[in-house]
Amino acid sequence: MKVAVVGATGLVGTKMLQVLAERNFPVTELYPVASEKSIGKKVKFKDKEYEVVSWQTAIEKRPDVALFSAGGSTSKELAPKFAEAGIVVIDNSSAWRMEPNIALVVPEVNANVLSKDTKIIANPNCSTIQMVVVLKPLHDKYKIKRVVVSTYQSVTGTGVKAVDQLMDERKGVEGAKAYPHPIDMNLIPHIDVFLENDYTKEEMKMVNETKKIMGDDSIRVTATTVRVPVMGGHSESVNIEFENDFDVAEVRELLSNAPGVVVYDDVKNLKYPMPLLAHDKDDTFVGRIRRDESQANTLNCWIVSDNLRKGAATNAIQIAEYLMAHKLVGNEEIAAV
């Protein structure tokens, strides 16, 4: 597979290169793409250095897949150019997610929407990805009516500038700010911009993307998203109301058998998911599984995943793996490997 990584020098782009190597994705040729000022710089992949090229050069090389993590405006401009050249784009920005004819995919949930004609595929929001991986088997069994979610999101979700702000504040030095308030020793209940309904864009992403990925507009979702001074992963407190009653032991069994999910739940031994546990792993961890005693047919749980991996890079590469395994991209000889 010939692969382009657009935004290869950023936090997620760097993680994409790492995950491609770790998962032994069959990269035969690699084209790292970044902004004009980065052209000519080197990035490392599998102990070899590759020169960053322009998007024009990458298109000329006709990769099979282009993994995009370069921001919404760049994606809006460049993804159609790659697609017109017959290159499958898997985009990590929010640019295409809610477009009616664009597939929004979490492989464990809805990879079946992909076909050979799919040319632009949207990678969902990091917080949505880890939640729907857990919701899917429960929805199939008990039918979800409503989800109430509060998130505790890592500064890595904002990017290098936010990580630097946290570290600068921790050291007591002045530096560039990614947030309108201090983040060290603080929580900021504000991710992305505020909308007219007083929810943030991040909160409404979780509402709208969940319905699209799950393929069910009847699921009601409400979200509060919070930035916390943490690195390693996003955490979520999730309250799920079902149409049908459930047995907690059966819920644990369903989740234990769900692809990409690890049940880590033993309160007697103080075992529950935390960002430190999820850091640099591809799984989504779920714990604190318990019945909501205030309302019928309702479950509480705690979900944690590495936002740069399953929440971004890994999910995109799993989409590429699915395309390859089902011969929806690349030549059939490679796809059969």
326 is catalytic: no
Active-site option among 126, 139, 279, 301: 126
> What's 93's DSSP letter?
S
CB neighbour burial string for 206-224, b if at least 16 within 10 angstroms, e if fewer: bbbbbebbbeeeebebebb
CB neighbour burial string for 18-38, b if at least 16 within 10 angstroms, e if fewer: bbbeeeebebeebbbbbeeeb
Nearest-angstrom CA–CA distance, 323 and 65:
10
Residue in this structure with the two tokens 């995109």, named with its chain if needed = 316
181 is catalytic: no
Nearest-angstrom CA–CA distance, 284 and 227:
19
Instruction: Give how far Cα 119 sits from Cα of 8, 85, 127, 219, Å.
Output: 20, 10, 24, 28
How far the first Cα of the chain sits from its last, in Å, is: 11
Active-site option among 139, 234, 279, 301: 234
> Which run of H or of E encompasses 332?
helix 332-335
Residue in this structure with the two tokens 């630097």, named with its chain if needed = 164
3-state secondary structure 283-329: CEEEEEEEECCCCCCEEEEEEEECCCHHHHHHHHHHHHHHHHHCCCC
The answer to whether 18 touches 313, Cβ cutoff 8 Å, is yes
Nearest-angstrom CA–CA distance, 208 and 293:
28
Annotated catalytic residues are: 126, 234
